[in-house]
Amino acid sequence: MRPLRFDDRAHTRAAILALVCCAAACASSGTVPTLFDTQARIERYISSGEYDKDFAAVVRRARSYLETRAPAVTRPAIVLDIDETSLSNWPAYRVNGWARITTGPCDLERGPCGVRAWQAMAASKALPPTLDLAKRADALGVAVFFITGRPPELREATERNLRQEGYRPAGVVLLPPGATFKSAVDFKAPERRKIAEQGYTIILSMGDQASDLDGGYAEKTFKLPNPVYFLP
């Protein structure tokens, strides 16, 4: 299998596969959703507060585990994903009709908005439950690491965005220059291993994709909702 980058082609394949599977399942039940209906459902889920409620419920469980384990561990740490875990990109996705457009400029008024251009603006807002979790970790003496599939040229903007939103990272790991991976698991799991090799016990890892969490090197994982996109 040809290695995949975290780029438009990988996202497009994943999106097409998801739509095909959805259409096949719905066709078997006699109902095929339109693209407009799907966009409207996503908008309702996010705008209604249901997404926020589901998101906060996961983070509450993570915080409970954090507060139980942190006092019992030498050099405790947590690992957080960034996009749709610590910082929200929903303004960019909303103007794109909830499509993932990675490249190109970002026009937040008329669209389209390239996600990488949006991220380079360092304008993403913190997701409040995750920020509260990170601050509680700081108070308990727990190191907070971030591992993200963002490309290396976004390091300065990413670190600036995290700090201006109130995070205090012990470390921020981005994709290595020119790297390719079949899955985010192949990148993120070894990076967690490196943190563990520094003497940290990673008591929890949290992200919006299963590929943020699979591969071990964390005591417990917490999967957040993401109704918009899937990353292998």
Per-residue pLDDT tens digits for 96-112? 999 999 999 999 999 99
**C-beta separation of 228 from 100 below 8 A:** yes
132-191 residue pLDDT tens: 999 999 999 999 999 999 999 999 999 999 999 999 999 999 999 998 899 999 999 999
Quick one: DSSP state of residue 4?
Answer: B
Alpha-carbon distance 59 to 84, whole Å? 13
Strand partners, 202: 77
What is the torsional sign of CA 133, 135, 129, 97? negative
Architecture of domain 8-223: 3-Layer(aba) Sandwich (3.40)
Name the 3-class secondary structure at 67.
Answer: helix
Domain regions of the chain by residue span: 8-223
The Cα–Cα gap between 207 and 85 comes to 6
